Amino acid sequence: MEGASHKWKRQPGKRPDQIIQAALKVFGNKGFQSATMDEIAEEAGITKGTIYLYFPSKEELFVSMLRAQFQQALDLLPKIAFDPAEDPETATKRVGKEFLDVLMTPEVTNAIPLVIAEFNHLPALKDMYHAQLLPQANLQLAGLLSLGMELGLLRKLEPVIAARCLFGMFFIFVMTQEVFRAKEITQMSTDDIVDTIVSIYFHGIVEKGSSQ
């Protein structure tokens, strides 16, 4: 089984990418069920049959597209690095801004409802979340917080929960402003959002008596 049982066929050349880009656009606009293979093919400038040369089914195309999106987003994370010389709150704000700018990209905000809508119907999505996103994002930050607590810099809190709280504050703005289009009503800059989030979070978790 090892390394041999990819569900999707080989994907030579540029075609697959071309198709995946079209799929992202069409799935993003219509949703998984309402999007048709014809629309995707037309968007990609090819014909329906051709898609099946590269993806065995609509569902596989959908998952492949999300996997690609997901990977692309994860690839950005390593670039987001802390500079040890910076003051932690300032550094977090800088990093947070970069992070939020990525999350608020149309590619991401279009993909979010798709993931949420199909999460319970497509096992591959659950796998991606449970195997990658949860450990890599949530648990990694939780470890960092644990360290700070042991050093007496941070207040004693449940680290996994505390880590997820931070993500929640970012996520809610992606959802409300972008996905739910609240930005048409409650305008706010990403700078203001991140400044407020980080300010609340830092004041919320640091140990008052600490040098902070």
**34 is a contact residue toward a copy of itself (CB under 8 A):** yes
Instruction: Report how far residue 165's alpha carbon sits from residue 61's, in angstroms, rounded to the nearest whole number.
Output: 33
**For 154, phi and psi rounded to 5 degrees?**
-115, 155
Contact residue for a copy of itself among 15, 30, 67, 97 (CB under 8 A): 30
Q: Which is nearer to a copy of itself, 1 or 187 (CB)?
A: 187
Contact residue for DNA among 17, 38, 83, 192 (CB under 7 A): 38
Give the range of 2-10, 111-119, 155-163, 172-180 binding DNA by CB under 7 A: 2-10
Tokens of 45: 């400038």
Per-residue mark of binding to a copy of itself, 179-198 (x: CB under 8 A): xxxx-xxx-x---xx--xx-
- Site residues (CB under 8 A) for a copy of itself, limited to 43-82: none
**156 is a contact residue toward DNA (CB under 7 A):** no
Give me the least distance between CB of 136 and a copy of itself, in Å please: 13
Instruction: Report how far residue 187's alpha carbon sits from residue 170's, in angstroms, rounded to the nearest whole number.
Output: 16
Q: From the list DNA, a copy of itself, none, which binds 35 (C-beta under 5 to 8 Å, kind-based)?
A: DNA
Q: Which residues bind a copy of itself (CB under 8 A)?
A: 29-34, 112-114, 116-121, 126, 129-130, 134, 138, 155, 157-158, 160-162, 164-165, 167-173, 175-176, 179-182, 184-186, 188, 192-193, 196-197, 199-205, 208
